[in-house]
A and B are shown apart, each in its own frame.
Chain A
């Protein structure tokens, strides 16, 4: 067992979690995020929560950063030049011709990351089968180098048509560019992505060139600061596709880190689901502004291979976490037609819900929960005094325009609508993958997740809700459990037949060579489809063991599960994916949070949704809960509150989890 520190930089707070090998203890801390220089917030959290001797003992420092994301959001990055095939200069600007909002007549895409004058064409052409149609014209590259020098270009992206099938021209162009005196970083599309679709690959390569400029210096600077404080371990950076990258890899492939924000919660759920043998689990993370959900099957993270961030597609693995605007701060309002609506707009952390009394007057989900006694009246973490009066004052005006009778009914309506939004997001991630949510366990976490666990169980017709230890900081716990993961892919469209698997093996070998990870567990997946279809399913293969029949059978099974039918049509390989995983530590027990020291529970008046009315219910500190307790009751801990309705029973499980079981259906 090793000591690991995880630090996740969020929009509002920088969260630190420490797993101490000596005691097995998990410790958490929070500092305000410092957007202009995020490393200051990170270091402040370290200075506040980690004694020097502990930092010196720490083996891994796992960092979730938004530096790449912010560079894109703020459009502050390198001045990028693009070299592309003659005739294709405008790919980045033409995009795919669609609109973010199909009903907006005036919609205009954001300006491309590389302006037109810095997108330069070179004569060359490779066909889809990799054959060379026209050789690369070296003078065109040299001319581009001159323009880039005159325009002060910091980084260059080289994206040539069909380079996924034959990368020689891209490599040669990079050599010529360097020989012509360009000294900055060069991103080659076949190294960044290796997949077809020129707009998406161009965009990914340009993003890589754009953010690398900020990411490298930031990470090196942070590493140096940590070492000055005595840290002697390894700095790791979380990946959009789960796991973490080493510092050198993250600096070289920064686009792989851009969508890592919501991944930690899903990763923590996957670990928990594996250790509890949950089979099918649904992560239900209710934060201040959003509800994030992911489907975990057999402890595996759900992966997608194309993401999108601020309207820019990225060909990079990412964990399929869906967000809807239904969090504690989501604002409730009456629309012009007299219906009660909730979200997606949020009051955020500042001014926050009306009950915070920090200037927010709009009613939010948190106000409704407080009014109904689902959150104990009094304190929440951060020391903000919650005002039930302010909550009621904010909710009351919604009654008139909606025709709802009284504040209680408004609050009940807000909670029910928020829960329905959450349940629909869960149905989205399950039904699309052919999974019936009724067989799943709901893992409820985040500040407000455990408040909604029972409501979600009834909405989804689910019988088990799991509230993990440290429920309010559970996402950060996912950080200290990360493995080192690297992956690479290459598009290779061809039939899945007897000659195909040896070819796959060769491509996989080349990809693993590029990943260069000694000691890694190697995994190969194939994107497969029926010939004639476009969309693929990603299917694991065991090279050297599987034959075509075995791979086909696995595909058919997955296809049937997802779509409810099978087809006799022949299969086609589209992309080969290679993943190397270095498992850092297999034995990291989940230790419950230490007692808060605040005793004094009692009873409270709360709304039972099952009974449709107010009821007196006990309030129990989480560490005091022994045996089985029947709802209605509230279980409180420093970072979260668990609302257990009538018809449910809560039990403290040996794992440290609170297991909530539905005794009867509504």
Chain B
């Protein structure tokens, strides 16, 4: 059994000592602004709604030592994950010595990106007077790059999940490598969308590279390096300051993942968080060996999950850099669910990673009472749709996450219908845009009455969404947390889990959770009922006026009130 400890120490100790604090602050702001420019460029030129609406991408800068200089806020799920893939991408093409200005490296090996092959990274080396000083990197979700299906919930190895580019030059010294380009297009079901997104990613990474290059020129390389070292030390000091406020101790929680998508058996796991002075260690060794279906979580995404959970609790209002991550250590077991070995399938890596985030937060709720809410619907409820248009035969595809109810907390009722926290910056698509684009009619887009977990504070409501299917098409359901009820805290009751029901034209109905390629004949109706939040505190302690207000506005029915809040009637 191999236990792996992942942590990040200072790379050039003492380099930042004596760096000018004013210039350091100016460079820190400049890096964050440059990352934001890269993000805006990608959003505005991308073709795939998964990029421009769901913000399913990450943009960041790394220095020559592969330390993270800055990352623009997009999906929290991708926080700090690009380090592995920048390193692997550069190794893949022969190391830093093999790089020249104008290169763009393409990399999408799931064991380096942490996610599925659809999440492809572009890495651009940045030179200052012939010296390699940094990298700009973008990882974004392509609609399709081969694989047995456009979106897979039932793969048995990583080779079924998509074509893998293990670090290859897409541009060599500014010239497009057309052999690679043609291979990408030949392996995609939607080459035109992918071309558009490739162009957007290359343009974005180059925009970022130019902005960072200008920053280095303005301040000089020596000043830049020393200020960056001080910036990392600053980030580390901030996070250590937060951790010192947590009481030392060992905090634990455990839960169960519905299924691995192939074998159907539940997967129990636990988290153990050790707080010791200004350091925090998260242990994820209490989990099964890597499983046969695609819910294994490659190490980079496990690292990200831990960073997100801690960032939420530590109140990180700051854009993170490498320094913020130094006080954090992760313990995993090689060959396990949270540290699988190639070629274990991992397409749905987000399921264990999202689950771990909420469980770490639950464990730490004991360390800082009142710091954590009850469970939310707990999943992004990803649905992916595709088909060929009836009139033209043209292929189409769309995909989106959907919001869930949030857990109640000591502060008040949980919010209704917000994206799960790992995708908290994501917006879901307006029904009118969907209807203008896809062969659907949305029949219902509503809050689910009575769904919030009862408690002194009520859980947020889940969403009821019904799609009438106007042309034959396929659907892949990525739903998790369909069996486990969102937990309440301190006597609060659970909310409802996620559920997907297909109502066929002949009146037959069937429920799905993780399921690939569900055929939907014209006239079917797909009902998505997303999970709600758990309650906080005993329901009998709920303010009667709050119960009456919920009744008046129709968030709960009279029957629900009579069952859970008889004291208020």
Cα distance A338–B233 in the bound complex, in angstroms: 10
Across the interface, do B432 and A116 meet the contact criterion of CB distance under 8 Å? Answer: no
Across the interface, do A404 and B22 meet the contact criterion of CB distance under 8 Å? Answer: yes
Contacts of B228 in A (CB 8 A): none
Interface size for B (C-beta < 8 A) is: 82
Across the interface, do A403 and B428 meet the contact criterion of CB distance under 8 Å? Answer: no
Q: Which of A234-269 contact B (CB under 8 A)?
A: none
| Interface residue A11 (Cβ < 8 Å from any Cβ of B) | no
Across the interface, do A102 and B424 meet the contact criterion of CB distance under 8 Å? Answer: yes
Contacts of B44 in A (CB 8 A): 432, 535, 562-563
Which residue in chain A gives the minimum CB-CB distance to B17?
A403
Cα distance A417–B374 in the bound complex, in angstroms: 41
Q: Which of B9-59 contact A (CB under 8 A)?
A: 21-22, 24-26, 28-30, 33, 36-37, 40-41, 43-47, 49, 52-53
The dominant DSSP class at the A interface is: loop
Stretch from A24-32, A88-96, A217-225 contacting the other chain? A88-96
Cα distance A569–B193 in the bound complex, in angstroms: 10
| Interface residue B443 (Cβ < 8 Å from any Cβ of A) | yes
Q: Mark A109-120, 1 if CB is under 8 A from B, else 0.
A: 100000111000
Cα distance A103–B76 in the bound complex, in angstroms: 8
The dominant DSSP class at the B interface is: helix
Which of A340, A427, A562 is within 8 Å of B22, CB to CB? A340
Contact of A103 with B424 at beta-carbon distance under 8 Å, contacts A412-B22, A420-B26, A533-B196 already known: yes
Q: Mark B47-84, 1 if CB is under 8 A from A, else 0.
A: 10100110000000000000000000100100000000
Contact of A105 with B361 at beta-carbon distance under 8 Å, contacts A98-B418, A197-B433, A535-B44 already known: yes
Contacts of B433 in A (CB 8 A): 196-197
Contacts of A109 in B (CB 8 A): 415, 418
Shortest Cβ distance from A21 into chain B, in angstroms?
45
What are the 8 closest A-B residue pairs judged by CB atoms, nearest first?
A97-B403, A413-B22, A96-B427, A337-B234, A116-B553, A102-B424, A87-B444, A128-B435
Cα distance A424–B37 in the bound complex, in angstroms: 10
Which of A90, A108, A117 is within 8 Å of B447, CB to CB? A90
Across the interface, do A108 and B430 meet the contact criterion of CB distance under 8 Å? Answer: no
Which residue in chain B gives the minimum CB-CB distance to A419?
B26
Q: Which of A150-209 contact B (CB under 8 A)?
A: 161-162, 164, 196-200
Cα distance A283–B403 in the bound complex, in angstroms: 40
Which residue in chain A gives the minimum CB-CB distance to B33?
A424
Which of B47, B317, B432 is within 8 Å of A533, CB to CB? B47
Q: Which of B122-153 contact A (CB under 8 A)?
A: none
Shortest Cβ distance from A60 into chain B, in angstroms?
38
Across the interface, do A431 and B237 meet the contact criterion of CB distance under 8 Å? Answer: no
| Interface residue A564 (Cβ < 8 Å from any Cβ of B) | yes
Interface size for A (C-beta < 8 A) is: 69
Which of B30, B315, B425 is within 8 Å of A102, CB to CB? B425
Cα distance A337–B326 in the bound complex, in angstroms: 14
Shortest Cβ distance from A306 into chain B, in angstroms?
12
Contacts of A341 in B (CB 8 A): 25
Across the interface, do B445 and A91 meet the contact criterion of CB distance under 8 Å? Answer: yes
Cα distance A177–B35 in the bound complex, in angstroms: 52
Which of A103, A416, A565 is within 8 Å of B316, CB to CB? A103
Across the interface, do B33 and A535 meet the contact criterion of CB distance under 8 Å? Answer: no
Interface centre among A128, A164, A493, A565 (most CB of B within 10 A): A128
Cα distance A530–B46 in the bound complex, in angstroms: 10
Contacts of A48 in B (CB 8 A): none
Across the interface, do A117 and B553 meet the contact criterion of CB distance under 8 Å? Answer: yes
Q: Mark B510-539, 1 if CB is under 8 A from A, else 0.
A: 000000000000000000000000000000
| Interface residue A486 (Cβ < 8 Å from any Cβ of B) | no
Contacts of A416 in B (CB 8 A): 22, 26
Across the interface, do B196 and A417 meet the contact criterion of CB distance under 8 Å? Answer: no
Which of B361, B427, B443, B552 is within 8 Å of A98, CB to CB? B427
Cα distance A127–B439 in the bound complex, in angstroms: 11
The contact sample of 25 A-B pairs, CB cut-off 8 A, is A87-B445, A87-B466, A88-B446, A90-B445, A93-B416, A96-B428, A99-B424, A103-B316, A105-B409, A106-B411, A107-B418, A116-B553, A117-B553, A127-B435, A128-B435, A196-B430, A196-B433, A197-B432, A336-B238, A340-B22, A341-B25, A416-B22, A416-B26, A432-B44, A532-B193
Contacts of B419 in A (CB 8 A): 97-99
Across the interface, do B432 and A338 meet the contact criterion of CB distance under 8 Å? Answer: no
Q: Which of B221-246 contact A (CB under 8 A)?
A: 233-235, 237-238, 241
Across the interface, do B415 and A108 meet the contact criterion of CB distance under 8 Å? Answer: yes
Across the interface, do A569 and B196 meet the contact criterion of CB distance under 8 Å? Answer: yes
Contacts of A115 in B (CB 8 A): 553
Contacts of B241 in A (CB 8 A): 336-337
Contacts of A200 in B (CB 8 A): 430
Which of B25, B41, B196 is within 8 Å of A530, CB to CB? B196
Shortest Cβ distance from B246 into chain A, in angstroms?
16
Cα distance A58–B426 in the bound complex, in angstroms: 51
Contacts of A338 in B (CB 8 A): 21, 234, 237
Shortest Cβ distance from A80 into chain B, in angstroms?
15
Contacts of B373 in A (CB 8 A): 105-106
Contacts of A562 in B (CB 8 A): 44
Contact of A116 with B555 at beta-carbon distance under 8 Å, contacts A404-B21, A413-B22 already known: yes
Across the interface, do A105 and B553 meet the contact criterion of CB distance under 8 Å? Answer: no
| Interface residue B561 (Cβ < 8 Å from any Cβ of A) | no
Across the interface, do A413 and B196 meet the contact criterion of CB distance under 8 Å? Answer: no
| Interface residue B441 (Cβ < 8 Å from any Cβ of A) | yes
Across the interface, do A90 and B418 meet the contact criterion of CB distance under 8 Å? Answer: no
Which residue in chain A gives the minimum CB-CB distance to B196?
A532
Contacts of A164 in B (CB 8 A): 432
| Interface residue B372 (Cβ < 8 Å from any Cβ of A) | yes
| Interface residue A133 (Cβ < 8 Å from any Cβ of B) | yes
Cα distance A109–B419 in the bound complex, in angstroms: 12
Besides A416-B22, A564-B206, 9 other A-B contacts (C-beta < 8 A) = A90-B447, A93-B447, A98-B427, A99-B425, A417-B25, A420-B25, A432-B44, A493-B436, A569-B196
Q: Which of A404-426 contact B (CB under 8 A)?
A: 404, 409, 412-413, 416-417, 420-421, 424
| Interface residue B156 (Cβ < 8 Å from any Cβ of A) | no
Across the interface, do B311 and A103 meet the contact criterion of CB distance under 8 Å? Answer: yes
Across the interface, do A107 and B427 meet the contact criterion of CB distance under 8 Å? Answer: no
Across the interface, do A339 and B442 meet the contact criterion of CB distance under 8 Å? Answer: no
Which residue in chain A gives the minimum CB-CB distance to B549?
A115
Across the interface, do B435 and A340 meet the contact criterion of CB distance under 8 Å? Answer: no
Interface centre among B193, B373, B403, B436 (most CB of A within 10 A): B436
| Interface residue B192 (Cβ < 8 Å from any Cβ of A) | yes
| Interface residue B493 (Cβ < 8 Å from any Cβ of A) | no
| Interface residue A357 (Cβ < 8 Å from any Cβ of B) | no
Which residue in chain A gives the minimum CB-CB distance to B436?
A128
| Interface residue A604 (Cβ < 8 Å from any Cβ of B) | no
Contacts of A106 in B (CB 8 A): 373, 409, 411
Across the interface, do B445 and A88 meet the contact criterion of CB distance under 8 Å? Answer: yes
| Interface residue B412 (Cβ < 8 Å from any Cβ of A) | yes
Which of A127, A427, A432 is within 8 Å of B441, CB to CB? A127
| Interface residue A498 (Cβ < 8 Å from any Cβ of B) | no
| Interface residue B463 (Cβ < 8 Å from any Cβ of A) | yes
| Interface residue A534 (Cβ < 8 Å from any Cβ of B) | yes
| Interface residue B121 (Cβ < 8 Å from any Cβ of A) | no
| Interface residue A402 (Cβ < 8 Å from any Cβ of B) | yes
Q: Mark A69-100, 1 if CB is under 8 A from B, else 0.
A: 00000000000000000011111011111110
Across the interface, do B554 and A117 meet the contact criterion of CB distance under 8 Å? Answer: yes
Cα distance A97–B424 in the bound complex, in angstroms: 8
Contacts of A432 in B (CB 8 A): 37, 40-41, 44
Cα distance A164–B436 in the bound complex, in angstroms: 11
Cα distance A596–B279 in the bound complex, in angstroms: 63
